Amino acid sequence: MTITNKTIKELLPLSFSSTPAVSIRKENEVWVATSMLIHYLESFTDSLVVTEENEKPIGVIGGREIIENIFKNSSSNFFDNTTVEQITDKDLVILSDKTTLGELLTTWKNTRRAFSIIPNDLGGYSAISGRKLLEIGANCITDLTISEFPRKKVETFEKKDTIKNIIKLMLEKNTRKLLLKGTDYFISDRLLIQSIAQDYDFFRNVKFLERKFEESLRLEEAKKISKDLNLSEISKIMYTMMHPYVIYQDQVITPWDICMMLQSDRIEFLG
């Protein structure tokens, strides 16, 4: 029996509901959500759960919603006069104790968002993100190595690109990260959002999208590895990284890639 037939609760017995979902009320302005996302993007919560007055979850908001909308409206008006409800993704996945890993991954492939919530014993909700599933990968026994992962094109940008071009590339390629061509450094939606909030005051006094990358943004360095590690080993490494993004030869590996590889029938679980 592959691990996809096991429930998430069986695969994460000690930490199944240990990560509280971070929520935001639907009537809050987008600048509030953006400020919160700076701290939570790529953490174990990854996205914000949007709630109504009775704390009922009605959707989710993450870096994708911010990036998509500033590409359409790169003014302070978007942040100051748009509510969270107006840009919320209503396709929030709520799990149960009986949800299997296979069911979860099928849903994530359809939504293209590695994030779900599950009711917890405190009357609230806990978060299950792509990064959370690295725990499952780390506790697997397998001979499946990085070199056997499906090859995908490494999406890059160049120093001469404007911020608008970079965001356009992210949207077109459906990726949260782009590698700076010829380097091991990358830009992410979190870094873009951080700059917008902290360096450019939510576009209140500057035209941000027309700026060149090199005069506007900080980058993060991917971890380069030289050994063809197995899925368990690479999961353990990525689990400890603040911003998990690994380069092996001409491949880049993200938590999403690990999640998709958990569907392999060559994986046993240490349960």
3-138 maps to which CATH number? Answer: 3.10.580.10
What's 140-269's CATH class? alpha beta
CA distance 28 to 149: 41
| Domain extent listing, the chain | 3-138, 140-269
Contacts of 36 (CB under 8 A, 6+ apart): 22, 24, 48
Angle between helices 163-173 and 63-72 (to 10 degrees): 120
* Secondary structure of residue 169 in the 3-state scheme: helix
- For the ranges 42-46, 141-145, 172-176, 252-256, the lowest mean pLDDT is seen at 42-46
**Among 201, 213, 111, 206, CA closest to 156:** 213
pLDDT for the residue 1: 62
Q: What's the mean pLDDT in 8-26?
A: 91
Residue 44, pLDDT > 60, answer no
pLDDT-above-90 percentage for the chain: 69
Q: What's the mean pLDDT in 98-117?
A: 95
Q: What's the mean pLDDT in 71-82?
A: 91
**Which is higher by pLDDT, 211 or 175?**
175
Residue 30, pLDDT > 70, answer yes
Q: What's the mean pLDDT in 34-58?
A: 83
Do the first three CATH levels of 3-138 and 140-269 match, i.e. the same topology? yes
Strands 115-119 and 125-129: antiparallel
pTM for this prediction: 0.90
Q: Assign 3-state DSSP to the chain and report helix, strand, coil percentages, each to 5.
A: 35, 20, 40
- pLDDT interval class at 41 (50, 70, 90): low
Cα four-point dihedral sign 223, 255, 236, 154:
negative
Mean pLDDT of all residues in the chain? 91
Angle between helices 30-40 and 63-72 (to 10 degrees): 130
**Which is higher by pLDDT, 209 or 198?**
198
Paired strand residues for 178 = 187
